[in-house]
């Protein structure tokens, strides 16, 4: 029971509903961006170009959080694929070479400190 209380007390950050990685924010932002983008296209078609540009810029502001989230998830996916490929390439060398094992041990020790 003491462990549970200690872990609650040492929590560093509480999750926020308005976090950048929240899917609801991205979906709602894209919905507003589509709505304002459609309005901007209708305004531009009617020949009202300055208001159309203003509404299009406003649509871009709503699409930005979703774009940031999508780019972040793409980079995370690429990092996972890179780590998997690195593990596949390095594993045979770790099994065969004592020099590579020493190098990996030193590198691991530096990474965990």
Structural domain including 64 reads 20-112
Number of structural domains the chain divides into = 1
15: pLDDT strictly greater than 70? no
- Is the four-CA dihedral 99, 84, 19, 59 of positive or negative sign? positive
Q: What local confidence, expressed as pLDDT, does residue 13 receive?
A: 63
For residues 72 and 80, the model is more confident at 80
Using CA atoms, how far residue 50 sits from 10, 43, 55, 70, 71, in Å, is 53, 9, 9, 30, 30
- Identify whether 11 is part of a domain: no
- Identify whether 14 is part of a domain: no
Query: Cβ neighbours of residue 52 under 8 Å, at least 6 residues apart?
Result: 40, 41, 43, 44
- Identify whether 7 is part of a domain: no
Q: What local confidence, expressed as pLDDT, does residue 111 receive?
A: 83
Q: What local confidence, expressed as pLDDT, does residue 10 receive?
A: 54
DSSP 78: H
- Identify whether 10 is part of a domain: no
In the chain, pLDDT over 70 holds for what percent of residues?
A: 81
Out of 2-6, 13-17, 21-25, 75-79, least confident range: 2-6
pLDDT grade for 50, boundaries at 50, 70 and 90: very high
Mean pLDDT for the stretch of residues 78-102? 90
Using CA atoms, how far residue 85 sits from 8, 81, 82, 102, in Å, is 38, 6, 5, 21
């Amino acid at each position: 029971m003491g462990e549970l209380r200690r872990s609650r007390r040492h929590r560093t950050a509480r999750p926020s509903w308005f976090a950048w990685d929240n899917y609801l924010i991205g979906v709602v932002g894209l919905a507003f961006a589509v709505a304002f983008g459609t309005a901007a296209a209708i305004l531009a078609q009617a020949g009202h170009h300055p208001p159309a540009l203003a509404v299009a810029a406003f649509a871009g502001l709503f699409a930005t959080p979703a774009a940031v989230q999508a780019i972040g998830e793409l980079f995370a996916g690429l990092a996972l694929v890179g780590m998997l490929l690195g593990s596949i390439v390095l594993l045979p060398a770790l099994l065969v070479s004592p020099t590579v094992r020493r190098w990996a041990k030193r590198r691991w020790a530096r990474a965990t400190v």
